Structure 1
Amino acid sequence: MIRYLIEIMAFQLGFLIIYDLLLKKETFFQWNRAYLIGAFSLAMVLPSISLPVFRSTVTPDALLYPHFLIQLDEVALGPTSEASHDTFPWAYLIPITGSVLALIWFVVKLTKIRRLRRQGLLRKHVDHYQIQLPDSETAFSFFKNVFLGDRLTGSQKASILKHELVHVRQWHSLDLLFFELMRVMFWFNPLVYIYQKKTSELHEYLADTGSGVPKKEQYQLLLSETFGTRDISFINPFYKKSLLKKRIDMLRKEPSGQLNKFKYLWLLPFLMGVLLYTSCEEDGILEENGKQDVTLSDEQLIATIENDIKGLDLNGLQVYMGTHDIYRKMGTIDQLTKEDYFLFAMTSKRHMELLMERYSDVKKRQLPLPTTQRYLSYMSRQKAFKSLDKNLDVSIERRFDLVAMESNVVDGGGAAKTFSVINTADLTGQEVRAFNAEIEALKSLDKGSSLVLTDGKTSYTISKRD
């Protein structure tokens, strides 16, 4: 989740830099409005997009965390303490609390608008509602509601109403409400506030240019500094001091030439780079020395290995297997290259087939061929075992056929007990002691009982088999 949020913010920042450098000074206000909303939304889905045309070879660092079945009597545990209950995922408390507070503040601001609507004199028109606020100089709009203070003069009201009706007709409040909801969900992302502010600026430029009010009259209204507003982030106030100079500058600016629209094409290289990044997949694996281990396809590797061992009988194959270090490495948490993994899988398969031919009491079964996907799963398992060794101080002694990869979805049924932690990649001392206590308790349970260690994303299952 953290990586996903970082990618979202990185993409949003990239889109924002393009906007600030190339687009914000242009008078294509509707285009820029669509750009800001579209870029912000697109950045939230880009991390999950993977296009085959952009795929390339990368390291397996970004592999999905798998869910493992580990034989209980192969895990040596350290000292234990008294058993404890499942721990609460405190890491989620801060973002949830922030979102709740942001939601409360959002509701408070909606309540302020509703209260103003009730206090004012409501007049219904064909395409809007005009609310006259008593003893006020306020001027703003929210969806079809246009709020005007009764202290404004008749000429001021007429000009401001034309301005605010542009906001109403073009549904500017919908844009700001979208960003307000994003502030509730992603209150910790500073870019949400920046996007909302820039979108609000564009709304004012659109209303200034689309109201039909003469520029001289608009200058006078903006410079009078007599209009009040409310501190509400998702309304369209007529007067806002921070926007005064920018609005005057835009009113004085000559319309941008049509050729300047080609500036939007600069978005394409950035978008292509993002898609290249998000579409990378593990078609190959980088070895420890950094060289790519993708020189041969699965079929070529299998054919090469079969050619090397096809003339060996059972005894010869056993001698052949005994001369390779890969068979000793498979009992450790070391990582094999793709070629060594295929060699181990193919020779083991051939060895079992010869045993089934020689001995009638050996159960006949069809063994699968190795594939790149199986190798990726193997690499993922090795990574997880290293994580367990590092964080739980356990020593894992295992054989290749005693480790089974399963789905990352934890099945809460049966005899499985869930032990929740903040982060399976970085357990606290208290979590390690409590988890070891749960393991000790598992030893006394029936065969098939299991304990799930999870942080909501990464899950390990330790199951008692014997």
Structure 2
Amino acid sequence: MEPIIYMWQVSACMGVFYGFYFVLLRRLTFFTINRWYLLATLLLSVVIPLLTITVHRETAPIIMQKAVIINQVLPSAGLQINVADKQTSRTIIDWVKIAEIAYLIVTITLFIKLIVTIARFFNKLKNASITKIGGVRIIKAIGNISNGSFFNYVMLNSGELNPEEMEQVLGHEMLHVKHLHSIDRMIVRLMQVAFWFNPFIYRYAQAIEENHEFEVDDEIGRRADKGRYADMLLHLSINRQDILFNSFSKVPLKRRITMLFTKPTNHMKKVIYLLILPLVLISCLAFARFKNDIVQQEQYSVIAGIDLLGDDFKVFIDGKSYDKDIVYKISGSCIKSSEIKPVAPAKVVNGKWADAVVNIKTKKGDIVYMSEQEKENLIKERSVAFDKFYVRLHLKDNSGKPFDKAIVHKWRGASASVDIQPLDKIGFLIDGVFYNENDIRFIDPKDMDALADEVSVQMVKQGQYARGIAAVFTLHTLKKPTGAQSKAKIQKEGKLKPVAIAGKPAPDRIPAIPGNVENDLSNTVSEQNFIRKTVMNSNSPFYSRFHFDRANGKGFDVVAIKYKSNAFTSINVQPNEKAGVFIDNKFYSEDALRKFTQAQTANLERDTSEAHYEMNQKNNLPKGYFPVPTGFITK
């Protein structure tokens, strides 16, 4: 049905443009402008219905105040309802298909006829006497030939012209050649082939042909006697309808002679052509296709890590499956716990997990949706850049009462936050030295990088550190390692020598160094941020493995271990390599590590002992495994 609709839209568009010409322009003597108007609008009539105008409309995610669950009685699985088809068997005629076939038959026939006409014309030229004047070929013949032109060919009927008339006709047709009128005619003829059913295309053809003759007659009338020229037009008048060739006197004589003696239109009336712009705009609005492009505002969720998921993830709340959009609506007030489990290893596509499952447990079995105020607070929190060490946000609760949220971020994603009253103050305890908020603002960011990733926060009594201090963030700087600690330091910086696996030579790789992209086993900054945001959310497991692809077709995996809920370590490996971790001097494989719960790993700390370092160098591991440089012990 769409091709038929398009054809009718083109026809209607032509009708609008031709109507404007017929009412306002056809009596004006601006023949050249009228010529270009007709050609341009003819082509616009074909193009405008093909245009797609995209209308951008921004909508915010729907926020509901309360989730209401309605119990519905569903038909049993075995129950089937059959509806009898009342239509009797009969042959259905597809009139649309018939119309399309008929259109194609006529169009192909007209196109073949056009090709044959052109071929016959050039075939006649083989035996014709041709004289060249510049780039124009003059054909003189006696008999069945009309005075006219086609591109750079000019035909003269010597039998019906005296020398003076021949000179006049030749000058007339040379102007047609000069103005390239044959190109206009070919465009119109092709349009007639394609839109033969459209009555306006024939009106266009007539109008374009008239303007050609008016344009040439006007130019000749300025340099010759108009009366004698009009007599010649009358003498040589013919009534041959062939849009392909420029015939000397094809256009009705009365109209040509009238326009020849018409007083030139006042140039001030050219302002009428300015109306073409709103006409084109109206035509676009009427006949172009409109597409609603709904631009969704960025969605935020109280569940950390949702922004790392692609489109293909599933949501389960209290064991029941829900539409994935619910993660952007559910309120944190009803959530007891939440967990995001990607497939193992997590496949990363365009910075998103390719597949994952979100498991949510509610406090009382009820689902509560975010209020507008909760949504506003969440957007403010999620908009905080991770490169800012300290941020204090001014928020409101559901009753409209204001409160502040203080947030500290470390570059590897370690973070801590606390809700306080607007007048309360925040303190920072760094290596046992107290700093207030103003002090922190003047610390060099480079000095902040020297701080360890671990950060904690606790509410304190009034006056414990300074007046008005309600909460304190505790941090410490990286201590200069000595002895066994220096080995741990080396491991952390990614300079540990490769470990041999089961007696085989050590692989040619080292743990990734942040910001280093020297080979296929190194992370880009965006990948580092992705891993950091993934691992350092409250839902991430103790052990994670990610897969990244490179443009050269190669890929690598990243093994990440999260500990203390606010710190992690990682190493890059080949996709076919296996990794493991020493915990309390016992080696655990990947499968075993995936089964660890947050409760089991809550008391783990990094093992920086000499014994762990030596154990890392031994080859008594399962075949194909190598240890992650960092080990852990239970405190």
Counterpart of 1:281 in 2: which secondary structure? strand
Q: Distance in 1 between matches of 2:21 and 2:206?
A: 13
Distance 1:359 1:155 in 2: 95
Aligned to 1:204: 213
The change in CA–CA distance for 1:108 and 1:77 in structure 2 (over 3 A counts) is farther
* Contact kept in structure 2, 1:229 and 1:237, CA below 8 Å: no
Corresponding residue for residue 193 of structure 1:
202
The CA distance in 1 between the partners of 2:196 and 2:336, in whole Å, is 63
Q: 1:314·1:355 contact (CA, 8 Å) conserved in 2? A: no
The structure number with the bigger radius of gyration is 2
Contact 2:148-2:246 at 8 Å conserved across structures: yes
Give the one of 235, 253, 264 matched to 2:245.
Answer: 235
**Amino acid of the residue matched to residue 218 of structure 1?**
Y
Report the Cα distance in structure 2 between the residues aligned to 1:137 and 1:217, rounded to whole angstroms: 24
Separation (CA, whole Å) in 1 of partners of 2:189 and 2:81: 50
In the TM superposition, residue 276 of structure 1 has moved relative to its aligned partner by 3.4
- Kept in 2, the 8 Å contact 1:8–1:44? The answer is yes
Higher relative CO (Cα under 8 Å, sequence separation at least 6) belongs to 1
Per-residue displacement from partner, 1:140-190 (whole Å, max 9, x unpaired)? 111111111122111111111111111010110110011111222222222
Matches within 5 A, 1:448-463: none
State the secondary structure of the residue aligned to 1:246: helix
TM alignment of 1:38-437, pairs within 5 A: 38-51=40-53, 90-118=98-126, 120-136=128-144, 138-151=146-159, 152-211=161-220, 212-224=223-235, 226-228=236-238, 231-240=241-250, 242-277=251-286, 278=288, 280-282=290-292, 298-299=296-297, 345-346=325-326, 357=338, 364-365=356-357
Aligned to 1:27: 29
SS in 1 for 2:357: coil
Equivalents in 2 of 1:208, 1:11: separation in Å?
31
The residue that corresponds to 1:420 in the other structure is none
SS of the residue aligned with 2:149?
strand
Matched, 1:10 2:12: yes
Structure 1: gaps of 5 or more residues: 58-73, 285-296, 304-312, 322-326, 328-342, 368-466
**1:8 shift after superposition:** 1.8
Q: Deviations over 1:212-254 (max 9, x none)?
A: 4321121101222x455754221111112x5211100110111
Whole-Å separation in 2 of the counterparts to 1:271 and 1:359: 54
Aligned AA for 2:252? L
Instruction: Determine if contact 1:120/1:134 at 8 Å carries over to the other structure.
Output: no
Q: How far apart in 2 are the matches of 1:183 and 1:298?
A: 46
Percent identical:
25
Deviates more, 1:123-132 or 1:247-256: 123-132
Task: Give, in whole Å, the separation in 2 of the partners of 1:358 and 1:21.
Answer: 72
Question: CA shift at 1:299, angstroms?
Answer: 4.9
Select which of 36, 39, 42 maps to 1:37.
39
For residues 361 and 41 of structure 1, what CA distance do their matches in structure 2 show? 54
Q: TM-score under structure 2 normalisation? A: 0.41
Q: What is the CA–CA distance in structure 1 between the aligned matches of 2:198 and 2:50, rounded to whole Å?
A: 19
Q: CA deviation at 1:120?
A: 3.6
Q: Displacement of 1:280 after TM fit?
A: 3.6
**Which secondary structure state, in structure 2, belongs to the residue aligned with residue 131 of structure 1?**
strand
* Matches of 2:340 and 2:171, distance apart in 1: 94
Secondary structure at the counterpart of residue 156 of structure 2? strand
Q: Is the contact made by 2:57 and 2:293 (CA closer than 8 Å) also made in structure 1?
A: yes
Q: Higher strand share goes to which structure?
A: 2
- The answer to whether the 8 Å contact 1:159/1:213 transfers is no
Report the count of equivalent residues.
300
SS in 1 for 2:155: strand
Distance in 1, Cα, partners of 2:271 & 2:326: 57
Matches within 5 A, 1:437-452: none
- Tell me which stretches of 4 or more aligned residues in structure 1 moved more than 6 Å: 54-57, 74-82, 300-303, 353-356, 358-363
Cα gap change, 1:76 to 1:110, in 2 (>3 Å): farther
